Amino acid sequence: MTREEEKIIRIIDSHKDEIIAFASDIAGHPEPGFEEERTAAKTAAVLRDLGLEVHTDLARTGVRADWMEQDGPNITVIGEMDAIGCRTHPMADPHNQTAHACGHHAQLAAMIGAALALADEEVRASLSGSVSFFAVPAEEYIDADKRKRLKKEGIGFPGSGKSELIRTGAFDRTDIMMTTHVHMVPVSEDLYLGNPACNGYAAERVTVRGKAAHAAIDPWDGVNALSITSSAIQMMGLMRETFREEDHVRLHNVIRKAGDVINSVPDEAVIETKVRAGSLECIEHTMNMVNRAYEGAAYAFGGRIETEPLQGYMPIRWRKADQALIESASQLGVSFREVTEYDFNNACTDVGDLTHLFPVVNFTFNGFEGKLHGTDFRITDEEKAYILPAKMIALTVYKLLKEDAIQAKEIIQGFQPVFDREGYCRYVENSLKTETADSRKQEA
């Protein structure tokens, strides 16, 4: 270990109580996506106290703390701020009904711990590059009604915090992203290094238009929107046999509305449909099948379909464990496992969007029990969930930026982005264009 590395560990160990208190405070005040005002204010205050230049209100609640501009690559450390809707969780907020059942408070605590160590003058002087600490809003799914409201309020990409931050240029100076999370796939080791491939998704809100009539006197004059809906969902079920295992397709429906009163033929149904898959192409392909099912069912009964696309997350492009991660985990003497190209996470995260623009150096950590997003999720080992990840972030950033940032430069050179910012925004905007049955027919 170098002197700076020893110092990083010493600083984090000496601030253990503060880091744990910060995590407990955030866990005790959960807030939903794009509404993390208290979390943002608290995070901004701690980062400001470290002498960092703090920018707030990015994508509404985001907080970015920068070092003074320094030559060399910029590494942006990400901490997610939002809690998940989970009203039966013992720590759920009674008003907003969210809880930190995805461990985002642990990420924030780790980011703060790393900032404490990296703000040290001697450590900073040994680095050839700059670091930003970015508390980001809204990683969890935002439902269709809330998106509509946010859009009216000026959030261009209300589907996810990171997407809106990309759109607004808040990541323009970033060269490498550093992300972390509690383990999302079953891993018994303390650390899981690298970024496993993971599903992306697209969603839509579908309104089925039928025609009301008396359910007993003249049902033949009606067009039953519930029948169209259930037929469409039945077709999607039968389509499942065409899904390839390697595409990891998952298809979910929630019926929000299907009629008003029992003695009238339902004339309106509203469904939210979500398609997950391992590639953008497969998501698009499956979404087209879903839309054919809706239109086919509407055609059969003589109804009509209106589709409102909802932005999803892109799949994660898998990334092996970078050398700096492996060295840091080895120095810390904990158990760890490296990601392989066969590992796969069926869930989705907007970190996937980041992997289409930036190299994302990622690891996940242990120290909890229960199910992610479940009522039984809780941190059981503060050392493993808060302190160890703080050391991992700080040591990894140090290794990437030391000695003329040689490791960071290698990562940047070896990375092939899929999109630049403009290309990304164009892709998302195109995917949100409302298609009609006619425009799809012309394409076919």
Would you tell me which residues interact with Zn ion (CB under 5 A)?
102
Residue number, nearest CB to Zn ion? 102
Q: Name which of 368 and 398 has its Cβ closer to Zn ion.
A: 368
Nearer to Zn ion by Cβ, of 129 and 200: the residue is 200
CB of 139 to Zn ion, least distance (A): 6
How does strand 74-80 pair with strand 176-182? parallel
> Smallest gap, in angstroms, from Cβ of residue 230 to Zn ion?
33
Contacts of 441 (CB under 8 A, 6+ apart): none
Nearer to Zn ion, 163 or 229 (CB): 163
Minimum distance, C-beta of residue 115 to Zn ion, in the bound complex (Å): 20
With a CB cutoff of 8 Å and minimum separation 6, the contacts of 241 are none
Classified as helix, coil or strand, 98 is: strand
Nearest to 2 by CA among 322, 328, 326, 325: 328
Q: CB–CB of 208/298 below 8 Å?
A: yes
Is residue 83 within 8 A of residue 100, CB to CB? The reply is yes
Give the position of tokens 């953008």: 280
CB of 31 to Zn ion, least distance (A): 14
* CB nearer to Zn ion: pick between 102 and 379: 102
- Closer residue to Zn ion, CB minimum distance, 67 or 386: 386
Name the residue nearer to Zn ion (CB basis): 200 or 222. Answer: 200
Three-state DSSP state, 410: helix
Q: How far is the CB of 184 from Zn ion (least distance, A)?
A: 7
The CB-of-80 to Zn ion minimum distance in angstroms stands at 6
Burial of 156 (0-12, 13-18, 19+ CB in 10 A): middle
Nearer to Zn ion, 83 or 131 (CB): 83
Please report how close the Cβ of residue 101 comes to Zn ion at its closest, in angstroms: 9
102 vs 400, beta carbon nearer Zn ion:
102
Residue 38 has a CB neighbour count (10 Å cut-off) of 15
- Cross-strand bridge partners of residue 308: 205
CA distance 411 to 359: 7
The distance of closest approach from Cβ of residue 104 to Zn ion in the complex, given in angstroms and rounded to an integer, is 6
C-beta of 102 vs 258, nearer to Zn ion: 102
Closer to Zn ion by Cβ: residue 106 or 233:
106
Q: How are beta strands 368-369 and 378-379 bridged, if at all?
A: antiparallel
H helices of 63-127, where?
104-118, 121-125
Query: According to DSSP H, which parts of 247-387 are helical?
Result: 280-301, 323-331, 351-355, 382
| Nearest approach, Cβ of residue 179 and Zn ion (Å) | 11
Q: For CA atoms 378, 384, 389, 390, give the dihedral sign.
A: positive
Q: Which residues pair with 310 in a beta bridge?
A: 203
Query: E strands along 71-166, which residues?
Result: 74-80, 84-85, 98-99, 130-136
Residues 248/199, Cβ–Cβ less than 8 Å: yes
Q: How far is the CB of 360 from Zn ion (least distance, A)?
A: 15
User: What are 45's strand-pairing partners?
Assistant: none
d(CA 366, CA 384): 6
